[in-house]
Structure 1
Amino acid sequence: MIYENKQRICPVENAGSLDNVIRKWLQNPGKILRPYIQPGMSVMDFGCGPGFFTMKMAQMVKEGGTVFAVDLQEGMLQKLKEKIQSTELEDRIKLHQCKESGIGVSESLDFVLAFYVVHEVPDQETFFYELKSIVKPGGTVLIAEPPFHVSKKAFQKCIQKARKAGFNAEKGPSVILSKTALLSTGQ
């Protein structure tokens, strides 16, 4: 089981704290994602919450691309659905509620963002193996974790689990209030 303790998950009631002007200033989605997303790509925002990164991802993949917005909580997906309803982004964003036992997306992906969410996944080993099975050769995964919830040691263990699943791992980009890693599948 990937999610066995729902108390570890950010509640829907706190969604507003995940999507606000101050956060956009500190953690600008366009600046963070620009090196990784191109038009036409298939990408995933894992643990998308109310869509803080999802919206920018959909703008970046343009008409020929797809964004899988994945969250465990129906309430988070509903908030995102309300944002995109009747916009040009609605056709590019596929809402997907993952199960407690796994992600449940079988499409091949060019890029996955897991921002402030991997620490909420109790079975990280299973999570990384499933990610490895859906990320295309040459694809990448950007992980960012909050330093106030994730110690340096815990973050290193997380990256070791990603390597065990077959990812190459390197230091990720500099993001305010974040520990980051960039995972790749190789060619």
Structure 2
Amino acid sequence: MSNEKKKKPCLKEQATYSHGHHQSVVSSHARRTVHDSAAFLAPHIQPTAHILDIGCGPGSITADFAALVPEGRVVGVDAVASVLDQARSLARDRGLANIEFAAVDANALPYPDAAFDVVYCHQVLQHVKDPVGILREMRRVAKPGCGFALASGGEPNAGRVLPAWARRAGFAPADTQVTVTSWCYTGERARQWGDMWAERAVKSGFATMVKEKGLGTEEDLQAVSRAWTEWAKQEDLFFNVPSTEILYRVPPVSANPA
């Protein structure tokens, strides 16, 4: 029986990324690297690996993966096609020929079973309608015996339940490693976060959502923006983002008895 016949139909993504893709949002995504967002994974990557990066955004982590696998291949996918133009531009600027990007719904990945050595997503699961379903899809397209299905979430509530989501998606606890790291910034790097949030509070999709849902007014958002601006002027800045990470090795397929 083919993979297509065995695979259950998946719903399209029903959630909307509330922050949107204003430049204030995308620019912060573009600062992410393998060093700060996938250090838990990097030691396991082989130079021949075939990697899938789900929710790749502007592609900075994806490009770092491509540099780590000169004999392999990296596919970056995102539900929003427009942000992938920036990802492709970055790959061209870095001279990376072993990388490609596609607009894809992670609820129904258009790839066969066991297609990738590494399947990765970062700051995605807290924004989707069915995180458990997406984790199942990640597991499906990862190779048994050598494949890794990985996820990390920077939103505290999602981080607390990530291991439970993974268990519901079929990730055996014995094969699952859970770690927690954090982005910790002071000085100019923290100031950049403050300035970014000051702009995001009034110009991004977050601002639109707050007003449409009656959660706040334009005056409220302006006050939030001013607070971030004032915070960013302080001398003793400290900005910390915790991240829960899952590293999962797909178990090898058991041999059928003779």
Cα deviation, 1:19-50, whole Å, max 9, x if unaligned, reads: 22xx5598165x44421211111001111011
Cα distance in 2 for residues equivalent to 1:5 and 1:43: 25
Mapped pair 1:17 → 2:13: no
The partner residue of 1:142 within 136, 140, 150 is 150
Letter in 1 for 2:250: T
Mapped pair 1:51 → 2:59: yes
Give yes or no for contact 2:132–2:166 (8 Å, CA) kept in 1: no
Give yes or no for contact 1:74–1:97 (8 Å, CA) kept in 2: yes
TM-score of the superposed pair, with normalisation by structure 1: 0.82
TM-score of the superposed pair, with normalisation by structure 2: 0.61
Cα distance in 2 for residues equivalent to 1:100 and 1:185: 19
Determine which structure has the larger strand proportion and give its number. 1
Residue 14 of structure 2 is matched in structure 1 by 4
Determine which structure has the larger helix proportion and give its number. 2
Q: Identify if the C-alpha distance between structure 1 residues 157 and 134 changes in structure 2 by more than 3 Å, giving closer, same or farther.
A: same
Percent identity (aligned): 21
Letter in 2 for 1:146: G
Cα distance in 2 for residues equivalent to 1:126 and 1:112: 14
Larger-Rg structure:
2
Mapped pair 1:27 → 2:92: no
Cα distance in 2 for residues equivalent to 1:96 and 1:69: 7
Deviation above 3 Å: which 4+ runs of structure 1? Answer: 23-26, 164-168, 172-176
Cα distance in 2 for residues equivalent to 1:42 and 1:100: 17
SS in 2 for 1:136: coil
CA-based RMSD? 2.8
Count of residues in correspondence between the two structures: 180
- How far did residue 16 of structure 1 move? 0.4
Give yes or no for contact 2:33–2:64 (8 Å, CA) kept in 1: no
Where does the alignment leave 5 or more consecutive residues of structure 2 unmatched?
A: 1-10, 184-241, 253-258
Q: Identify if the C-alpha distance between structure 1 residues 167 and 182 changes in structure 2 by more than 3 Å, giving closer, same or farther.
A: same
Q: How does 1:115-134 map to 2 (within 5 A)?
A: 115-134=122-141
Residue 158 of structure 1 is matched in structure 2 by 165
Where does the alignment leave 5 or more consecutive residues of structure 1 unmatched?
A: none
Residue 182 of structure 1 is matched in structure 2 by 247
Q: Identify if the C-alpha distance between structure 1 residues 59 and 167 changes in structure 2 by more than 3 Å, giving closer, same or farther.
A: farther
- How far did residue 123 of structure 1 move? 1.8
Give yes or no for contact 1:2–1:121 (8 Å, CA) kept in 2: no
The partner residue of 2:76 within 69, 76, 93 is 69
SS in 2 for 1:17: helix
